[in-house]
Amino acid sequence: MQTAYDLLVIGGGINGAGIARDAAGRGLKVLLCERGDLAEFTSSSSTKLIHGGLRYLEYYEFRLVREALAERERLLRLAPHIIWPLRFVLPRDEGLRPAWMLRIGLFLYDHLARLRTLPGSASVRLRTSPLGKPLQERLNKGFVYSDCWVEDSRLVVLNAMDAQLRGAEIRTRTGVASARREGDAWVAELHDERSGAAETVRAKAVVNAAGPWVSETLGETLGINSRAAVRLIKGSHIVVRRLFEGEQAYILQQPDQRIVFAIPYERDFTLIGTTDVPYEREPGAVTISPEETAYLCDCINRSFAKSIGPEDVVWSYSGVRPLYDDAAANASAVTRDYVLDVSDQNGSLPVLSVFGGKITTYRRLAEHAIEKLEDYFPGLKPAWTGAAALPGGDMPGADFDAFLDALKAEAPFLPAETARRLSRAYGTRTRDIVRNARSLADLGEAFDGGLTAREVDYLRDQEWAITAHDILWRRSKLGLHTSAESETRLQAYIEGKAAQAA
């Protein structure tokens, strides 16, 4: 017998997970299918910022910036463990954007947000401020302003977790081979990517949140023609050993009118990105090109006192952003706003496809998506995600530091860095991992970076982690701190646990 759902969501990136969460909380029976791991592609390849998008003001995207700034404040309250404030330094570079333009842009940025808890922008004399120490002496003036950092792949997982807690079914490594309207339902053929098993399910509506594959899914998987089109833009980042002291980030203007970020990363590193390159090949296995690496190194060398080259890159990652094709000539000018395209059959059996969007506005995108489906599901519960903390984010007053202090008192055996890392990753759910442990030995086998068997078991049981790569590069970034020997032991441990459960 075919299982029937209200909503079939295709795609386990940030938009798919956000829509599944919202829909489940409004009373719909939801199935989310992701052919790989959650956040395996675009949603784990961002610059990892929750921000209004300062540069979008140049393209008059005022509505998008206003919405993004409002979401920045909201998400900071709802997920204080994985989202936190960052202060950005914007050096003034002679010959590029004039000072008056930067001042106007920052004034708008400060005031477009209806509610602002983060510090506003200010001028800074870089030659006399510690903020200017890493920069070349020619950069003597600049500005500082506020935005936020986010653990992007964890944001996806937490939305999927909350969706599941509210009744949604989350299936990773499960593709939707085809779906067609038959009678009073969508009939979809699912394919288990690990076992090869097939299954047929029914749904009243479909959400196509397949990211870079949105057009392919619409046409080939669902058999629907649409005038909306996606424009694929590759963005790449490099990671080098730490370039500067302090917790501030830098936003660097470039002669091509783009901007590049340099951000403190994983204690010992600096994250640099991103590029914007038109992309027309398969969007899955995408890697940085030598030209992109050289470009990002040149961006740093144009502003920082310390030079870097390709040999200094310890890691890189690339993702393909599925932007709505607004016919902009320049890849950097393509809108980051989203378009929700609905197709139905005589007023029923809709498919909603998501084009574009950015991680900052995923929650509002999900709300808008469900609003577009309201007529097909009479009696839906009202919008609710704007005031509901994500798993682990239910800290009194959204006070991360107070929670961390409490955890250290409860588990004094945890090294300070491990306590902080666990708290940042899991928030109040860290207690589910530590539980009744009284020593590090109680947490089981130890791997590099403070990872223990207890944490691995939690990730397998609660967060759909199946491989060492899932854990080291998406549920965390411990891969940067892990030796090949430790990774091999971790994979062997995971396979042993899977064999026991079989």
Torsions phi, psi for 404 (to 5 deg)? -60, -40
DSSP state of 152: H
d(CA 390, CA 166) in angstroms, rounded, equals 12
Q: 396-501, superfamily in CATH?
A: Alpha-glycerophosphate oxidase, cap domain (1.10.8.870)
pLDDT at 285: 80
Which of these, 11, 3, 349, lies nearest to 186 by C-alpha position? Answer: 349
Name the helix (H) or strand (E) containing 275. Answer: none
CATH architecture for residues 82-148+231-333: 2-Layer Sandwich (3.30)
Lowest mean pLDDT among 23-27, 98-102, 262-266, 368-372: 98-102
> What was the pLDDT predicted at 94?
87
Token pair 């397998």 is found at: 460
Q: At what angle do helices 484-501 and 453-462 cross, to 10 degrees?
A: 50
Task: Say which residues have a Cβ less than 8 Å from residue 136's Cβ, sequence separation at least 6.
Answer: 303, 304, 305
Asked if residue 330 has pLDDT above 70, the reply is no
Residues of the chain with CATH 3.30.9.10: 82-148+231-333
The whole-model pTM stands at 0.96
User: Between vectors from CA 206 to CA 202 and to CA 209, what angle results, nearest 5°?
Assistant: 135
Instruction: Name residue, tokens 């759909």.
Output: 464
HSE toward the beta carbon, residue 420, CA cutoff 13 A = 7
Omega into 287 within 30° of 0, i.e. cis?
A: no
Query: What mean pLDDT is predicted for residues 374-384?
Result: 96
Residue limits of CATH 1.10.8.870 in the chain: 396-501
C-alpha 475/C-alpha 484 separation (Å) is 18
| Residues in a beta bridge with 236 | 318
Comparing C-alpha atoms, which of 476, 17, 407 is closest to residue 490?
476
Quick one: pLDDT at residue 25?
98
Residue 267 tokens read as 């204690």
Which pLDDT tens digit goes with each residue over 473-483? 999 999 999 99
CA distance 222 to 353: 11
Q: What's the mean pLDDT in 102-130?
A: 91
Q: pLDDT tier at 46 (50, 70, 90 boundaries)?
A: very high
Write down the pLDDT at residue 323. Answer: 86
CATH of segment(s) 3-42+153-229+336-387: 3.50.50.60
Spatial neighbors of 301 by CB under 8 A, at least 6 apart, are 307, 308
The answer, yes or no, to whether residue 331 has pLDDT greater than 80, is: no
Calculate the average pLDDT of the chain. 95
**β 3-10/83-91 pair status:** unpaired
Residue 337: its pLDDT value, please?
A: 82
Indicate whether 221 pLDDT > 90.
yes
Three-state DSSP string of 32-98: EEECCCCCCCHHHCCCCEECCCHHHHHHCCHHHHHHHHHHHHHHHHHCCCCEEEEEEEEECCCCCCC
Which residues sit opposite 86 in a β-bridge? Answer: 147
* Dihedral over alpha carbons 45, 50, 54, 60 (to 10 degrees): 90
- Residue that has been written with the tokens 């009118």 in this structure: 257
Per-residue pLDDT, 115 = 67
Over range 419-447, report the average pLDDT: 97
Which three-class secondary structure state does DSSP give residue 294? helix
Pairing verdict, β 259-265 and 249-253: antiparallel
Q: Quote the pLDDT of residue 226.
A: 78
Phi and psi, residue 106, nearest 5°: -70, -35
Rounded distance between C-alpha atoms, residue 188 and residue 202, angstroms: 6
Strands 30-34 and 169-172: parallel
Residue pair 31/9 in contact (Cβ under 8 Å)? The answer is yes
Q: Return the number of other C-beta atoms located less than 10 Å from residue 420's C-beta.
A: 17
Give phi and psi for 327, each to the nearest 5.
Answer: 70, 15
Residue 332 has pLDDT above 60, yes or no: no
CA-to-CA separations, 130 to 87, 122, 248, 287, in angstroms, rounded: 13, 15, 10, 36
Burial class for 118, CB neighbours closer than 10 Å (0-12, 13-18, 19+): middle
Of 188-197, 221-230, 352-361, the least confident? 221-230
| Averaged pLDDT for residues 160-181 | 98
How many Å apart are CA 321 and CA 310, to the nearest integer? 24
Mean pLDDT (whole number) for 340-355: 94
pLDDT tens, residue by residue, 222-266: 999 877 778 999 999 999 999 999 999 999 999 999 999 999 999
pLDDT of residue 324: 82
Phi then psi dihedrals of residue 183, to 5 deg? 65, -120
Tell me where in the chain the CATH 3.50.50.60 domain(s) lie. Answer: 3-42+153-229+336-387
